[in-house]
């Protein structure tokens, strides 16, 4: 779909496919071996949700942009990746058109294992061409104390965030930062329940 300004938005799991084929992913490493129920509060183009679902996790992906939700949801159902297990994983993702705060407020306490956030980066990563079509439609809302508080109430085990390495969101909300040398973004986590 062509947007104003000539940008194009379409679904393609290219980044997710590369991550799946690599056999090692830092997001999956934060989750460990056990299969988890996960709310992806910022679906976007769906790459993280696809990687999570391909590893066997049960994913509910939230997207506040109606157009992005429509295009990505259709893509998850209809796109043929050429790999049966990836196609199954994409189809297993439950997508919901809503903002994360509204959704979290409607959930009961400790009803999901992990809540994941990947808000638009505070600083643009120039090399990230796959996000160019998304930039005009993306929800640029910052994480808030209210969203983090609701996420802590709803999640049983942990909250995970992905953010630009210069972003202060880690320190602001108490996420333990996992530094990735020579990478433009880091992951952070708030552990709510220690694994035995």
Per DSSP, the residues of 3-45 read PGGG-B-----HHHHHHHHHS--HHHHHH-SS--EEEES--TT
Whether 24 is in a domain gets the answer: no
Quick: pLDDT tens for 17-71.
Answer: 989 988 889 999 999 999 999 999 999 999 999 999 999 999 999 999 999 999 9
| Domain CATH number, residue 81 | 3.40.50.150
pLDDT at 142: 81
Cα–Cα–Cα angle for 103, 89, 71, rounded to 5 degrees: 60
**What's the rounded Cα separation, in Å, for the pair 120 and 142?**
8
Given this model, what pLDDT does residue 76 score?
A: 97
Question: Domain range for residue 110?
Answer: 33-121+130-191
At 99, phi and psi to the nearest 5? -90, 155
Q: In the prediction, which pLDDT does 121 show?
A: 45
Asked if the structure places residue 160 within a domain, the reply is yes
Burial label for 143, CB within 10 Å (0-12, 13-18, 19+), is buried
Tell me if 4 is assigned to some domain: no
Is 10 inside a domain boundary?
no
Contact criterion met (CB below 8 Å) for 84 and 128: no
25, part of any domain: no
Residue ranges, the chain, pLDDT below 70:
1-9, 120-140, 194-196
Q: Is the pTM of this model over 0.85?
A: yes
Residue 28 lies in a domain: no
Q: Would 39 be classed as within a structural domain? A: yes
Q: Scan for tokens 């000539």, then name that residue.
A: 6
Question: What pLDDT, on the 0 to 100 scale, is given for residue 193?
Answer: 80
- Is residue 55 assigned to a domain? yes
Q: How many folded domains does the chain comprise?
A: 1
| pLDDT for the residue 90 | 97
Closest CA to 18 of 86, 65, 95: 86
pLDDT computed for residue 140 by the predictor: 55
């Amino acid at each position: 779909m062509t947007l104003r300004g000539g940008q194009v938005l379409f679904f393609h799991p290219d980044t997710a496919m590369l991550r799946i084929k690599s056999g090692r992913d830092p997001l999956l490493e934060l989750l460990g071996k056990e299969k988890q129920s996960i709310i992806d509060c910022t679906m976007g183009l769906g790459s993280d949700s696809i990687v999570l679902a391909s590893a066997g996790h049960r994913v509910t992906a939230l997207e506040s942009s109606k157009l992005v939700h429509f295009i990505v949801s259709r893509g998850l159902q209809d796109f043929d990746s050429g790999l049966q297990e990836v196609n199954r994983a994409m189809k297993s993702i439950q997508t919901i058109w809503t903002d994360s705060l509204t959704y979290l407020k409607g959930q009961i306490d400790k009803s999901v294992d992990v809540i994941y956030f990947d808000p638009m980066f505070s600083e643009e990563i120039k090399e990230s061409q796959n996000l160019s079509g998304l930039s005009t439609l993306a929800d640029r809302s910052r994480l808030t104390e209210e969203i983090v508080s609701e996420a802590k109430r709803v999640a049983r085990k942990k909250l995970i965030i992905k953010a630009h390495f210069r972003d202060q969101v880690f320190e602001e909300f108490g996420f333990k930062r996992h530094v990735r040398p020579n990478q433009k973004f880091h992951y952070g986590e708030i552990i709510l329940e220690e694994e035995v």
